Amino acid sequence: MLTLAGNGKTNYRIVISAHASPSVFHAAEELKRFLGEITGANFPVAFDTEKPSEEEIVVGPNAHLDALNAAGAGIDVAGLGTEGVWLKTVGKTLVLAGSEVRGALYAVYELLDYYLGCRWFTAEDSYIPKRANLTLPEIDRRYIPPLEFRDPYMLRYNDGAFYSRNRCNAESGQLGPAEGGKVTYARFVHSLDEIVSPKEYFASHPEYFALRYDENGNGVRQGGYAQPCLTNPEVLEIAKKNVRRILASRPDADIISVSQNDNQLFCQCEKCRAVDEEEGSHAGTLLRFVNAIAEDIEGDYPHTAVDTLAYQYTRRPPKITKPRKNVIVRLCSIECCFGHPLESCSLSGTEGGQGSFTADLEGWSAISNRLHIWDYTANFAHAIQPFPDFEVLKPNIQYFIRHGVTGIFEEGENSVPEHGELNPLRQYVLAKLLWNPELDFDRLVDEFLAGYFSMAAPAVRQWYDLLQSGVAEDVHVHIYDSPHQPYLSDEFLDASEPIFDEAERMADNEKILARVKKLRLSIRYVRLAHTPADAPGRAEEAERFIEDVRASGIGSYREGTVLADVEPRIREGKI
């Protein structure tokens, strides 16, 4: 057993390389800061140019770790990759090993989180335990995260400290060199509009863009935001040129997306249709196009992968073509039910639902080198109303990983600058599970609620359980559900009211009370939707609700709108 501190004092020092990377320097600073907060002791930081001693915390690759390995410690940093961690006690020395990119930093957070109980719930809310006497048992924990890309995305909720402390590494996070950087995209998704721009080419070359047939069987080339004709060889050459142009300005990018625009206006010309029929999927035409670009760039950009979507009409894997080794396929679950785990939901169908999605996932897994997921964790049509998806988060992440998925983007709520409902809880538990999908889910929920809602947490937990109980076997949850779903019944609303009354009574300060009231907006919204426009008192409640939403800082009621776009419908009873 190691005694790191006793009665506010320590004999330990933190040792890093004299030539450490920014993230290793930051790791030492974070370790010093939080060990100090926990124990009250000052843990000095030293370089590996000093003589080794027994009572050290060795962080990252350095000469002291080399000496321990020479004596038989057996800690292989190279085998950990970029993000793996190895925490090991060697005599009285504690080693926090990992790469100079993010591994050493993550090893520090693994100690603080997994062993010492530190929690970072949001950018503003954390829990750091206090222990005047801090001891550790013998440790030998080697862990490599199963996912190479981890993003619990909510628009503008991307604080770099929150992301790095919870070991998320995505493009959306504000992660600089000190936080170990991130997985970078030269372009993210829906990129074909830029790569083959109709603004530049449609007037002179309409044949570059999708041919679509109207109800009379007339073929019309689509200008504007349609899809390119992917079997046109000139389109491919334009795309290669523009992908190279983009990468010339972002040569260090990990990924560039070459992916369909966000509509279903795919080309129906004879050549595209022939490929689609041969492949049994529109994905065949897209993947042949993407593979050609990936082959074109791999010699000059060997560290850059080409990402594309398996989304809506391209979701089904092709029969013949397989992704090249430098291609990432990102499969999207937009059609699915989010109230039941993917493996057990009763919904199925050719173009949507769990049955076909799981078949598509397994099909892509069989042919892909790198398979990512675009998942959804919010109601994009009614952002404020309750969204009971919590019980699928852990089982779905585990299911993805079992089927070879190596990256997950969890698209959350987009109502800025503030988010309603339980979205901060959702982002936190996702961040934790993307790093370690084996964590105890209920414990994560309870820890967050205690840290975020304080004395009101038991009542909020009671409401959380009530919400989830409304998802029966035949009650499904989708990302554009109206307020008139079975899980949002009047009985649910009536049962919610006394729980929120109790939560408001238990709130121990104005900040906690404001959080409870903001959460309560979710059921007030549904109640307004259920109440006829001419019902007595409804007009006054609608005005109070609109005023309270604005005061809460929530930015919109649905994706792509501002508050003023929807407020007339709330007043008129048309939500």
pLDDT (0 to 100) of residue 414 = 87
pLDDT of residue 352: 55
Q: Is residue 310 situated within a structural domain?
A: yes
| pTM for the whole structure | 0.96
**Separation in Å, CA 311 to CA 189, 193, 290, 329, 516:** 11, 16, 15, 10, 37
Q: Do 137 and 11 share a structural domain?
A: yes
Residue 559 lies in a domain: yes
The answer to whether residue 162 sits within a structural domain is no
Look at residue 418 in the predicted model and tell me its pLDDT.
Answer: 85
Q: Do 12 and 115 reside in the same domain of the chain?
A: yes
Burial tier of 30 (Cβ tally within 10 Å: 0-12, 13-18, 19+):
buried
Residues 140, 15, single domain; the answer is yes
- The CA distance from 494 to 492, in Å, is 5
Looking at the fold, whether 127 and 32 belong to one and the same domain comes out as yes
- How far is the CA of 68 from the CAs of 95, 111, 553, in angstroms? 9, 20, 53
Looking at the fold, whether 194 and 315 belong to one and the same domain comes out as yes
Report residue 521 as tokens: 């907006």
Distance CA 414, CA 376 (A): 12
Q: What would the pLDDT profile of 201-215 be if each residue is shown by its tens digit?
A: 999 999 999 999 988
Domain-embedded: residue 429: no
Backbone angles phi, psi at 156, to 5 degrees: 65, 5
| Contact in structure between 380 and 480 (CB atoms under 8 Å) | yes
For residue 191 the two structure tokens come to 């990129």
Number of structural domains, the chain?
Answer: 3
Q: Please indicate, yes or no, if residue 256 is contained in any of the structural domains.
A: yes
Last residue of a domain, one of 289, 320, 351: 320
Q: Which of 84, 110, 144 is the last residue of a domain?
A: 144
Indicate the residue type of 360: D
Q: Please give the Cα distance from 344 to 2 (Å, whole number).
A: 46
Q: Are residues 106 and 213 in the same domain?
A: no
User: CB–CB of 71/56 below 8 Å?
Assistant: no
Q: Would you say residue 246 lies in a domain?
A: yes
Q: Which of 406, 327, 397 is nearest to 81 (CA)?
A: 406
The residue type found at 249 is: S
Residue range(s) defining the domain that contains residue 548: 456-572
Residues 8 and 137 both lie in one domain: yes
Residue 133 shares a structural domain with residue 199: no
How many whole angstroms separate alpha carbon 181 and alpha carbon 101?
A: 8
- What distance lies between CA 379 and its chain's CA centroid? 16
Instruction: Determine the Cα–Cα distance for residues 169 and 185; give it in Å rounded to an integer.
Output: 12
Helix (H) or strand (E) holding 426: helix 423-435
pLDDT of 350 reads 38
Q: Specify the DSSP element, H or E, that contains 544.
A: helix 538-552
Question: In 424-504, which ranges are E strands?
Answer: none
Whether residue 38 sits in one domain with residue 116: yes
Regarding whether 131 and 195 lie in a shared domain, the answer is: no
196 and 313 together in one domain: yes
| Final residue belonging to a domain, choices 320, 338, 355 | 320
Instruction: Tell me whether residue 24 is in a domain.
Output: yes
Is residue 257 a part of any domain in this protein?
yes
Asked if 33 and 96 sit in the same domain, the reply is yes
Residue type, 425: L
pLDDT of residue 356: 87
Query: Which residues of the chain fall below pLDDT 70?
Result: 348-353
What CATH number should be reported for the domain holding residue 29?
A: 3.30.379.10
